[in-house]
């Protein structure tokens, strides 16, 4: 029996829809990544330039990058040994997750599709995943 999974993802959360036969299971994973903020001001009181602020922002960006990497690894672990993975979502996270999966030896062929999608309700996500894999069966997805 094939194990198919649909993953709706953005940088805040991932919603996984596992379909195995007639069974459907939904799981939500929060990213716990810091939100992106812009420090205020351009000069400090003493008249120094913004170099310190830029350095702090670079460190924060690097920290977020590592947090997203850990988030994607959690999602991949939860996806387990799915035969086919359908990834969709509104932003860059879907592409970043696909790249993380492709880095794993022998896993790139598990990605059935990557699509752009708006923010959806959980029921809409489940319906979209079911519809995708039903249509894929008709197209003879591996």
Which segment of 9-23, 45-59, 123-137 scores lowest on mean pLDDT? Answer: 45-59
The full 3-state SS of the chain, as one line of letters, equals CCEEEEEEECCCEEEEEEEECCEEEEEEEECCCCCCCCCCCCCCCCCCCCHHHHHHHHHHHHHHHHHHHHHHHHHHHHHCCCCEEEEEECCCHHHHHHHHHHHCCCCHHHEEEEEECCCCCHHHHHHHHHHHHHHHHHCCCC
User: Which domains occur in the chain, in start order?
Assistant: 3-34+55-138 (3.30.420.60)
What pLDDT digit, counting tens, does each position of 60-104 carry?
A: 778 888 889 999 999 999 988 899 999 999 999 999 999 999 998
């Amino acid at each position: 029996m094939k194990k198919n999974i649909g993953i709706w993802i953005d940088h805040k959360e991932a919603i996984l829809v596992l379909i195995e036969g007639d069974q459907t299971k939904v799981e939500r994973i929060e990213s716990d990544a810091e939100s992106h903020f812009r420090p205020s001001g351009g000069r400090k009181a003493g008249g120094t330039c913004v170099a310190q602020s830029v350095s702090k922002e670079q460190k924060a960006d690097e920290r977020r990058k590592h947090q997203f990497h850990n988030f994607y690894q959690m999602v991949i672990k939860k996806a387990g040994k799915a035969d086919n993975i359908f990834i969709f979502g509104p932003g860059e996270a879907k592409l970043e997750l696909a790249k993380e999966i492709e880095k794993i030896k022998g896993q790139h062929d598990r990605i059935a599709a990557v699509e752009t999608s708006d923010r959806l309700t959980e029921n809409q996500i489940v319906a979209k995943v079911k519809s995708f894999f039903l249509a894929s069966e008709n197209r003879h997805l591996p």
